[in-house]
């Protein structure tokens, strides 16, 4: 009987820890500052000595040496410094980064990169209709990287290089 009670107690404790971890991955906001911008869709935030590596959900920006890489990186850096940063975690990727929707004040960075033609909708990981619509609009308007009639998506570029 004691062994059963101990097992039940451990199970409840484990459940409580898991719930805490899951809730912690939800929406985070507050005094985050930008520590490093790796590229248009990946960066590191810091808050109270805690670093959080972020990968933007549902989009993929050009890779280094691709056209519009530098513009996407600068756009992300600029937007992140314009207001209060919040993010809503969706997942963690294989590198341990938090995959998230990122908001600066009321602006959604994921959407703005698409709207400005600085990213592709990453359909392999997202079926979000709004992200698809934003990419289509930028493509139709020949905005940003869509000035090129056949830009190479980053996932294909990575395979080639």
Domains of the chain (ranges plus CATH)?
Answer: 25-146 (2.40.50.90)
Q: Among residues 73, 97, 111, 115, which one is catalytic?
A: 97
Is there a catalytic annotation at residue 73?
no
- The pLDDT of residue 146: 98
Q: Among residues 53, 63, 77, 92, which one is catalytic?
A: 63
Is there a catalytic annotation at residue 63?
yes
What CA dihedral angle connects 157, 161, 70 and 128, to 10 degrees? 30
- ∠ CA 8-23-94 to the nearest 5 degrees? 100
Low-confidence ranges of the chain (pLDDT < 70): 1-2, 4-27
Strand pairing class (33-39; 42-47) = antiparallel
- The pLDDT of residue 20: 38
Is there a catalytic annotation at residue 97?
yes
């Amino acid at each position: 009987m004691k062994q059963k009670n101990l097992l039940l107690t451990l199970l409840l404790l484990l459940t409580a820890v898991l719930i805490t971890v899951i809730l912690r991955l939800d929406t985070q906001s507050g005094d985050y500052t930008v520590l490093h911008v790796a590229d248009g869709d990946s960066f590191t935030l810091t808050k109270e000595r805690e670093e959080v590596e972020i990968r933007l959900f549902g989009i993929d920006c050009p890779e280094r040496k691709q056209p519009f890489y530098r513009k996407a990186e600068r756009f992300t850096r600029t937007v992140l410094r314009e207001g209060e940063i919040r993010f809503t975690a969706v997942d963690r990727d294989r590198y341990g980064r938090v995959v998230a929707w990122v908001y600066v004040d009321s602006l959604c960075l994921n959407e703005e990169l698409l709207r400005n033609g600085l990213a592709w909708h990453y359909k392999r990981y997202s079926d979000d209709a709004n992200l698809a619509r934003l990419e289509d609009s930028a493509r139709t308007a020949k905005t940003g990287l869509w000035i090129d009639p056949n830009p190479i998506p980053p996932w294909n570029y990575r395979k080639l290089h």
